[in-house]
Chains A and B, each alone.
Chain A
Amino acid sequence: MRTVYDDVVERLEQEECLAVATVIQARGSTPQKVGAKLLVHEDGRTQGTIGGGCVEAEVWKEATAALRAGASRIVEVDLNDDVMGDVCGGTLTVFIDIWQPEATPAHDPNENRS
């Protein structure tokens, strides 16, 4: 059984960065729920889904920008602006997490026992 984390390991082992976009808040009638994930590779390929095409296009754009900048970010997607019509309404908050092969101070994998 493959999970998102197998894909993350695979990319990082190839010395590539990976953007993991996760829905962290969903208000109104949104197509996906909290925890849904979309992976965006350095070459722009995607895996998984966080909902409809318009949401994904916007998140993809932000994810590729975040990959270039090398920093995680938060994106608010207003589904009411959806030009495709009023199928969905509401707002999605998506956290775009940039996974990097090298450990940065923020992600220092020091181990501790609680």
Chain B
Amino acid sequence: MLTLAKQVAAALKRRESAVMVTVVNARGVDSGVKLGAKLLISADGLNHGSLGSEDLDRAACEQAADAIEEGEPRLKQYLPDGTLAPRRSRTYVQLLFEPLLPPDRLLVIGAGHIAVPLHEIGTILGFEVIVVDDRADFATRERFPHADEVLCIPFGTVPAQVAIDRTTYLVLVTRAHEHDEAVLKRVADSPAPYIGMIGSKRRVITVYRRLLEEGVTPEQLARVYAPVGLAINARTPQEIAVAVMAEIVSVKRQGKGNHSALRELPRSLQTVAGAARPPVSLPEF
């Protein structure tokens, strides 16, 4: 069982998806099917272990892709031949399908005073946390003891150095708007489900104006949550971190959080975006 546990731990470290299938109940079945028997099905089709019957192994493999897609643990009842058991069947094998998915990532760009509580709350919420800054004395392990990675790299290299996928929640909390711009224009078309950027309305509008001039589209800006966080009148860095992480939870769980972000581009920016364009409204909350 150690081998199997190691394989699971390693797959999760490599951020691979897999499904762990376990026999959790068996009634009226007198084959080699035993309680606790396991089959690990990797996304690449390489499997480890067995449920004790080839038919069940095959049936479980057929379900694997759906289980990963659903993303939630499911219990299913089978007959020993691998077909689904009818309701109230006296003979059945219960299989627990547990999708093993890599944890969501929180990518904190900027290692200043808000990044510290952000990385702490992110860790509590189960995110894999990565912190980025270009200053070696800020991007340190001592400052971010809970982070999975602390990277000291130029801001402009973020999308090249850190893979941004649809499980990456990105927060821009750099010390200057030119750094926000450098990252934002490179991640505006990324599959990240959340891009938040700190700053007063004025700073946000300054950043948006420059990006529109550089060719970023209003539609791309429409995805950005800026000013960042839910509207809870947060003042201290810790409170701001709570507002941001609550916003991320709300986006992730499709909640109804009241966002602070701009709801539409100010008139002055709509002309920058091109007078011929219809006015673009910002994120649909």
Interface of A with B (CB < 8 Å)?
Answer: 1, 3, 5-6, 8-9, 12-13, 22, 24-25, 34-35, 71-74, 95, 97-114
Contacts and interface: CB of A to CB of B under 8 A. Distances in A.
Interface residues of B, number: 38
Interface string B9-37: 10010000000001011000000001111
Given A1-B148, A107-B38, A34 B1 contact: no
Given A1-B148, A72-B35, A109 B12 contact: no
A5 B5 contact: yes
29 contacts: A8-B5, A9-B5, A12-B1, A13-B2, A24-B24, A24-B96, A25-B75, A34-B75, A35-B98, A72-B36, A97-B22, A97-B24, A99-B1, A99-B5, A100-B1, A101-B2, A102-B1, A103-B2, A104-B1, A106-B36, A106-B52, A107-B4, A108-B50, A109-B48, A109-B49, A111-B48, A112-B50, A114-B45, A114-B58
A1 B5 contact: no
Contacts of B135: none
B8 interface: yes
Contacts of B38: 107
Given A1-B148, A13-B2, A34 B74 contact: yes
A13 B49 CA distance: 19
A25 B94 CA distance: 11
Interchain residue pairs A-B with the least CB separation, the first 5: A35-B73, A106-B34, A72-B36, A95-B24, A5-B9
